[in-house]
Structure 1
């Protein structure tokens, strides 16, 4: 028997209960095509589109809800208005910081040339537009600069690493996404303490010195459903993005329990968050410049697997304490390290303590959890990922709290987790 087996053989797992968290959120948009058509035909937007003009459509690497349908609808409407659109991967250093890797990211998200209905022009080449007063170069995707017009499609939401009036959205995509590896590296040079200012300052110059037309911003509710799609003219980007970020944060989901000792996360990856796991949900902030929305502050975090659509990019894994051998085997360091190095967040690339199985990852989290309030049992939450937390599992010692909360619906009786013969979950990320 190995040391690990001996250490954990007497660590029991608690009974767990599946619950549904209810969040106040608006209904999702069903007819995406009609909404996109309406938005692109607003007078101030339609006036920027001329027949025969080429338009670079920036699309990022996030797992944005309905992004293939939204991008497809935008491109179809641009064509209907007489333009000639092409897609540009606007994702900074993602995709291993290679043109082919970034094209592959789009394809993994369901956006091929056939589905989008236009050419994808992927390149890491940039054009220098100038410098900030602090000397940082301002760079823009070369393919985009060769178009008659540029637009960006992105979700507007809280950023993992800093808090500001403008965080993750269209303006960030203009600066970092369209900046490719070199532009993203430039913006990150002075760290996240200066990120909010640099993103906006660079975007202002880019909008002035490029044929940027408008942005398409989306807002999602607590259930990862699109509730707003808005075309925003270039001269209103800062005003509208500030308002939409505040709206997005009002819908943000969180774990509706206090005193969570251990968070078990089935799946991480770039499709869920730029940091693999959203710090606003899991309760760990990667920098001191962010104010986490989460109220939980778990003592231990175990992450069990890496989503296939992340393409081996395990950026953010270092914020977990424990992971599984299965996750470790899927890590592609050449895919991961460009993000880690570009962002200057070295811990994003740290590898957690590796356990042979899901069961042992949870057991060692229990074994090493520090509980300071006199309790003898850890309070445990298991979530499928940090983007979908409508349904979660809680340990039985949290049942009274669940019963006392009108926004918590109890779905099952207490029971033990079911593992396969290798002590891994049979339902990983699928519940």
Structure 2
């Protein structure tokens, strides 16, 4: 296998080409092309405008990555500005490539091992392997000797790391968004695209809807009436956007703590030497029960990890939880002219509080680490920074705190124009 020289990457083109070479080296061209055939058979059943390709598919994730690389090359090595969800999959791909590359270089894994090859090619096992590889690589890059007992059927622990006399046993869990939200996004995006509606559709669910079509009907009513509509199942707000954007336009998404899924679509192009955006649209899906639902999912994963870590007696015990899909500000790749202003993030603090309480009752676990991945791009869709944040929580470390004041300081001698601008900025922050 040819390793990636990450330091030599000087452009998005070099990054994409090296990732393609890596993908072929790990999975083989024959396997990738067979999986891509399955992917294309599925996608071809629906027009692109139906947005069915948002749905998680029953094919290996590597096929989606291979197709993504092909699309990036065809578009001049930038993301498709008419489809925001690409950015998340590219982030997953890059993290995996960096992690696996380092594990192979440091002889933790060998692509010649049939167990490793089997896990990589099994689409179900591969999904859990993604995070285990990331956690293992983090330890390797920090000088630890690493083993993956569960992968090789040598124990129930995902990752074992050792440095000198320090031993660390790690369980790796991932919190996932529910597919229901993707189903709603597909239907709503398809509907407003067919009707050529340019708007932000903000959907807050009070409970699980009886059917996705019921939500679509409420959205149609809200669009037709041009005002918010409330039912027993949901509250729909519609903010109309210009059909054609020729100057910077700001969009605000307040209260990101209960946002379950967000996706955007638009047609961007250069006309008369000027960048213009046509038919911008965004769907934001919220769940008023999200904090409790995420907490329940977190407790279930912690309980599983506790059971697995109980099989070892010495060393430090750590639970890693990937929360990228369920918390954080919406990650949307938008045309340059659309500026997104999300509100403050508070769900992470809520989960930290719950984890700390759980740790107090399970003192045999040293810490829980909440992982969140973020990919940053410039205004033209070029990726320039990938960040993996590890937030360590321990029962014996006192948390920080925040004081919220309800008094807004008003500048002395402020003009009506300044006060109006201040009010607008505060409203954008929720």
Common topology (TM > 0.5): no
Q: Quick check: which one's helix share is greater?
A: 2
Provide TM-score, normalisation by structure 2. Answer: 0.23
**Greater CA radius of gyration, 1 or 2?**
2
Report which structure shows greater RCO (CA 8 Å, sep ≥6): 1
